[in-house]
Amino acid sequence: MALTPFCSPPPSLCSSFRSLRRGLFLPLLQAYPYTTSKGAVPMPETALMALRFEVLGRFNRARAAQLTLPHFVCQTPLFMPVGTQGTIKGLATNQLEDIGCQIILGNTYHLALRPTSELIDELGGLHKFMNWPRALLTDSGESSGWKANAPYTRGVYSNPSMCFTLAYFGYSCYINRIGADIIMALDDVVKTTITGPRIEEAMYRTLRWIDRCIAAHKRPYDQNLFGIVQGGLDPVLRDICVRGLVDRNLPGYAIGGLAGGEDKDSFWRVVAQCTAALPEDKPRYVMGVGYPLDIVVCSALGADMYDCVYPTRTARFGTALVPEGVLKLKNNAMAEDTRPIDSTCACMVCKNYSRAYIHSLVSKDAMGSQLLSYHNLYYMMQLSRNLHSSIVRGKFPEFVCNFLQKMFPKGDVPEWVCNAMEVAEIDISSCRARFRDD
């Protein structure tokens, strides 16, 4: 495998652009020699893709689309539940279909460990192994496993390229054997709360690695390799990374490195910058998002796909997702409450069970986790469906206002949401309390 020379990154231009304000004034950068195809392996014009992305409706930056993948035809915006180890905790595959899940995540690192990618391959791939007929996406294992254990993280090493070769050689085998419809490139992720040259290093490394991912990818006809934009919270780095990835003409792009504790104001700006710069005709996936509010904002800014452990994890802690925000079923007040979790929800749990009954189950019986996970995922799928249909029917601003009014009945919509909606050109003034200063 040819090793590209290790190029030292150009001096950072962060200081010049620290005053970057509302979104989308992108600096007119000279094309850095590095970001053109020097040493990179560009995808041919007739890019090998295993998907089709057709935009069916728009509202300013938001779009509703049909994403055709080898195993399923999906409607975006969509939320993808996380099934790290080949299962969504506590739910059977037919329930996931009933709820309306379109794509599920699996984790390459965890599955490579147990039951091993060779075994999954031998048994016909992950779809067959877990009997999930719809689409699958495998991530490398950002927050655990892969990155934590790759050699370069453990202190002194001589040639990072050499280490990558060792790490990646395994990775490409694993992801091809597991056989998901979408496979995420191996990227170098750092927490957004970290500052300093490490972020720049990670961004450039991600770019170098994407070429090797492309070269090692053995199944471009039925597996889509998505590149991941890194660069921390620095707009200059993000821009370099976006351009580098777009040059490679990949089937889809993800915005990574977020959802890690950064403040919301920085978060939405990075999403806004990236969605503006990524191609219109390819899906955009914001990784690790998350809260329903974040999904609505990112969709308004032009993102299409999301994943997060939040809905299922919070279910196991006894918290239900409702239009008003969250409902903590463990709370003693729930013991006498005979209403359903959410009277507007059409799921099996809300149609049959009272808050009092679920309260008696949560944190004591497995059934409690199951029922809440079911409801929470149904809520997220319904949110996805509502986003898609409201954009297609031209009612997206009404949907957003309705959503915000329910969540912030007193009109106290957070500042960051207001700023983001301004950039997305969606008028949410009807949801905001008027502050009379005069």
Partner 1 sequence: MKFVVKALSNGTARAGVLHLDSVAAAIDTPSLLLSTRKGLPLFTSPDLLSSFPSPDSRLLHVSPLHFLEGLSIKTISKIGGLHQLVGLHDCGFAAFPRDSIQCLPEATATNKTGASFETPCGRLLIKPAEYMEMMSSMKPELWATLADEVPAWVSDKRNKTSVDRTIKWLDECIALSPVSGAVFGAIVGGSSLEERRRCAQEVATRNVSGYWIGGFGLAESMDERPALLNAVTEALPEEKPRLICGLGLPEEILQGVAAGVDLFESTYIYHLTLEGFALTFPLDGTRINAPNVAGIDPRKINLRATVFRKDATPIVEGCLCYTCQNHTRAYINHLLNVHEMLAQILLEIHNTHHFLGFFGLIREAIKAGRFEEFRKDFVRSRYDGLVEDGSEPVLLAR
Residues that bind partner 1 (CB under 8 A): 85-87, 89-95, 98, 110, 114-115, 119, 122-124, 129-131, 335-336, 338, 348, 351-354, 356-357, 359-361, 364-367, 369-371, 374
Task: List the structure tokens of 365.
Answer: 């019986």
Is 257 annotated to bind a ligand? Reply is: yes
Comparing CB distances to partner 1, the nearer of 122 and 398 is 122
Is 187 annotated to bind a ligand? Reply is: yes
Comparing CB distances to partner 1, the nearer of 120 and 278 is 120
Distance of CA 49 to CAs 56, 174, 251, 337, Å? 20, 19, 6, 52
In the complex, what is the shortest distance from the CB of residue 141 to partner 1, in angstroms, rounded to a whole number? Answer: 14
Comparing CB distances to partner 1, the nearer of 365 and 427 is 365
Is 173 annotated to bind a ligand? Reply is: no
Which sign does the torsion angle of CA 75, 420, 141, 187 carry? positive
Comparing CB distances to partner 1, the nearer of 194 and 335 is 335
Distance of CA 43 to CAs 28, 32, 47, 140, 357, Å? 25, 20, 6, 22, 56
In the complex, what is the shortest distance from the CB of residue 115 to partner 1, in angstroms, rounded to a whole number? Answer: 5
In the complex, what is the shortest distance from the CB of residue 125 to partner 1, in angstroms, rounded to a whole number? Answer: 12
In the complex, what is the shortest distance from the CB of residue 336 to partner 1, in angstroms, rounded to a whole number? Answer: 6
Is 213 annotated to bind a ligand? Reply is: no
CB 199 within 8 A of CB 159: no
The residue to which tokens 């059409």 are assigned: 346
Is 74 annotated to bind a ligand? Reply is: no
- Distance, CA of 303 to CA of 290 (rounded, Å): 13
CB 309 within 8 A of CB 80: no
**Identified catalytic residue from 139, 181, 211, 342:** 139
In the complex, what is the shortest distance from the CB of residue 359 to partner 1, in angstroms, rounded to a whole number? Answer: 6
Look up 337 and say whether it is catalytic.
no
* Cα–chain center distance at 187: 14
Comparing CB distances to partner 1, the nearer of 17 and 353 is 353
DSSP secondary structure of 85-115: TSS-TT--HHHHHHHT--EEEEEHHHHHHTT
**Identified catalytic residue from 239, 307, 365, 427:** 307
Look up 139 and say whether it is catalytic.
yes
- Distance, CA of 403 to CA of 430 (rounded, Å): 12
Is 345 annotated to bind a ligand? Reply is: yes
Residue 232 burial (CB < 10 Å; 0-12/13-18/19+)?
Answer: buried
Q: Which residue positions form the known binding site?
A: 187, 230, 257, 345, 347, 350, 375
Q: Which residue positions form the known binding site for Zn(2+)?
A: 345, 347, 350, 375
Q: List the catalytic residues.
A: 139, 307
